[in-house]
Structures are given as structure tokens and as C-alpha cells.
């Protein structure tokens, strides 16, 4: 099953389509309605403006995937999951999941994090990676209630090029998460949770939304960061 958003969303759409193409059966999607978050707006634009996104409800109707619109941390969601057991839950669009929801999934919740865990946790992973001159990448893990912790399936660095722009990097980081999803599932088909590495995060900070003044400073660091990590 997939945790998704109940509105058009690039990662949600990419994950659904890729799973279908790869031959995996999606039993159902639980879609969280839009809500205003208490997070300040960025001072500069850091995301792409996407077009041709399809509402996930229409995608699920087309491929006969059961669709439930509900808050992911509601009793309605937990009860639905318990009554409709799954092999694996995948986060394709979600906010922080509660312990109750994770427990309803039997702890089998896969997340694709756009940062190299445990070093780069939390929000704005690309911004903090550039700001602190750390490599950028993707981590696949089974989650626990502690944010960005759990059991590491695998991680990979993002390929960078010397002529990349900031938006090249952000788009590639988004798209590579879909490839990472399939790689992670194939590893889980061969490995049990007890054989995965435990993500130790007690000595790594949780990054919050980057402050506006630091966002502008981050852009000034982009070219020097790229020279550090881009392929020749």
C-alpha cells in the first residue's frame, strides 16, 4: 500500500506509475488531504514548477486501485490497515506518521529519504547538504517513530555534473528517489529486517526548515559545493 497525498504531487505520481510498470501490485492507497502547515515560506524559490500532474484518485480509478481519503494518523486509517493487511507500506507522499499508524503496518513502512542518513536528517536536505558542504544522496529505510531513524536498506550518492544548476540537482534528487524505491524493494525481497543495519541517529542533528537568511547564503555556496562533489 502507499501513503500518498490527496492532490496532484510529483513523487506520488512517479511512485505509482513506476510500481505498476515494474509489475508490483498496489493493494490500496491512503491519501492525506491538503492542509496548511506551520512552516514559513522560503525567501527564494527552491522547487520546480511541475505541469501535467494527474490527481492520484484518477490514476487509481484507471488502474483499479482501492483509494481511501483520510488523515494518515487517524483511527480510520489505522483500522483500515489492520482490516486490509499488506506486505509493505510505502511513503509516496506523507507527513510524519504516528506510532499508531506505523504499528498498524506491523513496522513495515518503507521511506525514501532525500539525504544521506544518518548525517543529513530532517527538512531541506539539499539546502543543508550544500550549506555544510556534505555529499548529497538518497537513503532507503524502514522507519520507526523516531524521525529518520529505523533500519537502513541502502543508500547512494547523487551523481553530480560540473555544469549542473541548482534546479538540475533538485530535479535529479527527486527523480532518483523513484529508482531507489525499486532497488530498496528488491533488497527487501531477499533480506529480513533483522539483517538490516540499525540507523543510529543519537549523535546527528535533526535539521528544521532553513532560515531565510541562510537560504541566500546557501546559494552563494552552491558552485564551490558542486566542485567538491561533481564527477570529472
pLDDT tens digit string along 160-215?
999 999 999 999 999 999 999 999 999 999 988 888 889 887 778 899 999 988 99
Confidence category of residue 114, pLDDT binned at 50, 70, 90:
very high
Q: How would you classify the pairing of strands 109-113 and 137-142?
A: antiparallel
Q: Which residues pair with residue 150 across a beta bridge?
A: 199
Q: What percent of the chain has pLDDT over 70?
A: 100
Mean pLDDT of the chain: 93
Mean pLDDT for 77-105 is 96
pLDDT at 3: 98
- Section 135-140 average pLDDT: 96
Read off the C-alpha cell for 199.
540507523
Helical ranges in 22-132 per DSSP H: 56-62, 75-83, 99-104, 125-131
| 17 close to 178: Cβ distance less than 8 angstroms | no
Q: How many CA atoms lie within 13 A of 66 on its CB side?
A: 12
> Cα angle at 185 between 183 and 188, to 5 degrees?
110
Give the confidence band of 231 by pLDDT, cuts at 50, 70, 90.
confident
Q: What is this structure's pTM? A: 0.93
Q: 88's torsion region: left (phi>0), alpha (psi -120 to 50) or beta?
A: beta
Residue 37 above 80 pLDDT? Answer: no
Q: Exposed (0-12), middle (13-18) or buried (19+): which is 156, by Cβ within 10 Å? A: middle
Residue 189: other Cβ atoms inside 10 A:
9
Average pLDDT over residues 132-151: 94
Give the residue-averaged pLDDT of 123-138.
94
Q: What is the pLDDT of residue 195?
A: 84
- Residue 232 predicted with pLDDT over 60: no
pLDDT above 90: residue 131:
yes
Lowest mean pLDDT among 11-15, 58-62, 121-125: 121-125
DSSP state, 25?
-
What percent of the chain stands above pLDDT 90?
80
Amino acid at each position: 500500500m502507499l501513503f500518498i497525498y490527496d492532490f496532484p504531487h510529483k513523487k506520488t505520481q512517479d511512485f505509482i506509475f513506476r510500481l505498476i510498470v515494474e509489475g508490483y501490485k498496489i493493494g490500496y492507497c491512503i491519501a492525506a488531504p491538503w492542509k496548511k502547515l506551520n512552516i514559513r515560506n522560503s525567501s527564494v524559490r527552491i522547487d520546480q514548477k511541475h505541469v501535467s500532474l494527474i490527481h492520484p484518485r484518477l490514476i487509481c480509478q484507471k488502474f483499479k486501485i482501492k483509494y481511501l481519503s483520510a488523515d494518515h494518523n487517524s483511527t480510520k486509517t489505522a483500522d483500515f490497515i489492520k482490516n486490509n493487511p499488506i506486505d509493505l507500506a510505502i511513503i509516496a507522499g506523507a507527513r510524519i506518521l504516528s506510532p499508531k499508524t506505523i504499528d498498524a503496518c506491523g513496522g513495515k513502512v518503507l521511506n525514501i529519504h532525500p539525504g544521506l542518513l544518518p548525517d543529513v536528517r530532517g527538512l531541506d536536505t539539499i539546502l543543508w547538504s550544500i550549506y555544510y558542504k556534505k555529499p548529497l544522496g538518497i537513503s532507503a529505510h524502514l522507519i520507526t517513530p523516531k524521525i529518520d531513524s529505523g533500519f537502513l536498506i541502502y543508500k547512494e550518492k547523487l551523481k553530480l555534473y560540473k555544469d549542473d544548476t541548482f534546479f538540475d540537482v533538485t530535479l535529479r534528487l527527486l527523480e532518483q528517489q523513484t529508482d531507489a524505491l525499486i532497488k530498496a524493494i528488491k533488497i527487501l525481497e531477499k533480506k529480513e529486517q533483522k539483517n538490516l543495519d540499525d540507523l543510529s541517529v543519537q549523535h546527528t542533528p535533526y535539521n528544521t526548515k532553513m532560515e531565510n537568511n541562510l537560504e541566500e547564503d546557501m546559494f552563494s555556496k552552491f558552485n564551490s559545493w558542486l566542485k567538491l562533489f561533481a564527477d570529472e
